[in-house]
Structure 1
Amino acid sequence: MADVAPLVVDSVTHLDAAARGRVTCCGSHGGVYAAWYAARHGVAGLLLHDAGIGRERAGVGGIFWLESRFVPAAAVAHDSARIGDGADMLARGVLSNVNAPGSALGLVIGMKASVALDLLVAARLPAAEAPGGMDEARQVIDDTGPAQVVALDSNGLVGPEDAGRIIVTGSHGGLLGGRKGSAVKADVLAAIYNDAGIGIDRAGLSRLPALAERGIAAATVSAFSARIGDAMSSWEDGYISALNEPAELRGACVGLSTREFVAKMLESL
């Protein structure tokens, strides 16, 4: 039962066996993939980031997916705390969306995240039941050009094998806990993220300068053009909202579609 202090992490990808039965405050976006990942680790209650809510309300879709599994959950407003920063969510976060199990425990929109976590801990909640699998979160979009183009629902799926590739992700464009090393785990040619509504301190774009320092072209798509957490939506629906200097030098600009941005990256090789 969740009768200990809440677990605070910057990303669901940091969860491990210690998360089981714990109320968790997590800097990840509130999309279904993040909620599924947290449920797989048996969290008892969950706060995520609303990522600007965005297209089809994808930024909070996960908390309502958890509702069907009777897991209390809420999302913190993107203009109240930095995405990718669990500690900042705990310190400054204000709830923007609450699911029904959360409401039943007294969570309300406008409540401070710290108060919401106290209520969830006091409820002594059981661990979430493990969900079934999800569709494949990685797929090759194009391997006919000078660099392979890969779609990944989460930046956490990037591995050494992705060096030199163009990655189109469903992840937000924020550094985890402000750490530059979290930007991407491989020296990719170019990377695309979701701007998560940009948000307070422009946190939804903070990967871009960190990647520029490594010479990696990077851009974000608007959260209102593509569903966060869904790399294929970034590919099919996304429009560039921000980019870094290496991407500009390769001919990209704000307003391009993701496909056009990728074409610019390939043409520059």
Structure 2
Amino acid sequence: MPLVVDSVTHLTPDARGKVALCASHGGTYAAWHAARHGLAAMILHDAGIGRERAGIGGLDWLEARGIPGACVGHESARIGDAADMLRRGVLTFANAAAARCGVEPGMTAARALGLLEAAARPAADVADGMHEAGREVAGRGGVRVFALDSNGMVGPEHAGQVVVTGSHGGLLGGRPGTAVKAQVAAALYNDAGVGIDRAGLSRLPALDARGIPAGCVSCFSARIGDGLSTWEDGFLSAVNATAAVRGGRIGQSARDFVAAMLEHA
């Protein structure tokens, strides 16, 4: 039976050998995170494709290891919402390994998932030394700024600090509690092309409700899945009301946005 999960971070050891539809972006980080659980094949989200095609970069990474992979288009289904991807997702990209299973762009996600399941591929065997990256990149007045490749890396130790992530700005399964796991001082995400129902920005109002200033950088300015790229390359495409009151605005660089948030921390 295929797995259907809102994030690759929700995969568990019993995923080994299974096929999964994961509502994470299709970048290299997400593909690696899923493959290290031994998935036989996977469907991800194209996250607007974005800078250097980072939103689908995981497909080439999977292809190099013989693992079938495909991505659902951001204009067809909500990122972070696996049930929606299964219900109305349409593929925009598939790697050659997936094509050999009969999977192709234009196909529904549900149909592609069935084909990958029927192909009975072996479990992935990934020994690559890739790892999640988290770095302290700035700070002011005791408030530290961390660039994290994934929102899943946020923990209690980040309470009161600023997190600049490579994750998409979408809630997982539409659940407000998934916006961020700690009461951070401010947060940045990637807009994942914004997409259908503006899903790529859906964390922002949820964070407003918690009094957390937050914004998203354009997927065309920074590589999704790369927190350091968000910090170094990102330009804001959206801010929530809490951030706007504190000087956040569309068009700012990520560094200038963070500086404004630190000014009012």
> How does the TM-score come out when normalised to structure 2?
0.98
Question: Contact 2:143/2:262 (CA < 8 Å) preserved in 1?
Answer: yes
Deviation, structure 1 residue 145: 3.8
Secondary structure in structure 2 of the residue aligned to 1:133: coil
Structure 2 partner of 1:60: 56
What is the aligned partner in structure 2 of residue 73 from structure 1? 69
For 2:53, give the aligned amino acid.
R
Question: CA contact under 8 A between 2:132 and 2:150: conserved in structure 1?
Answer: no
Q: Distance in 1 between matches of 2:249 and 2:133?
A: 28
% identical aligned pairs: 64
**Alignment counterpart, residue 227 of structure 1, candidates 203, 209, 223:** 223
Q: In structure 1, what is the equivalent of residue 185 of structure 2?
A: 189
CA distance in 2, matches of 1:43, 1:129: 9
- Note if 1:198 corresponds to 2:194: yes
Q: Indicate the residue corresponding to 2:169 in structure 1.
A: 173
Stretches of 4+ moved more than 4 A in 1? none
**What is the distance in 2 between the residues matched to 1:25 and 1:265?**
36
Secondary structure of 2:172's aligned partner: coil
Equivalent position of 1:32 in the other structure: 28
Q: Residues 38-187 of structure 1: matches in 2 within 5 Å?
A: 38-187=34-183
Instruction: Provide Cα deviations, 1:213-242, integer angstroms capped at 9, x if missing partner.
Output: 000000000000000000111011100000
1:218 maps to what in 2? 214
Unaligned runs of 5+ in 2: none
Q: In 1, Cα distance between the equivalents of 2:184 and 2:139?
A: 15
Match of 2:235 among 235, 239, 252: 239
Is the contact between residue 164 and residue 188 of structure 1 (CA under 8 Å) also seen in structure 2? yes
Aligned residue pair count: 265
* Root mean square deviation of aligned Cα: 0.9
Aligned equivalents of 2:132 and 2:110: distance in 1? 35
Q: TM-score, normalised by structure 1?
A: 0.97
Say whether the 8 Å CA contact 1:142–1:148 is kept in structure 2: yes
- For residues 115-165 of structure 1, give each alpha carbon's deviation from its aligned partner in whole angstroms, at most 9, with x where no partner exists: 101110111111000232214510110245441000100000000000000
SS at match of 1:148: strand
Q: For the residues of structure 2 that align with 1:103 and 1:75, how far apart are their CA atoms?
A: 12
Tell me if structure 2 keeps the 8 A contact 1:240–1:253: yes
- Name 1:22's counterpart in structure 2: 18
Structure 1 segments unaligned to the other structure (5+ residues): none
- 1:30–1:62 CA contact under 8 A, matched in 2: yes
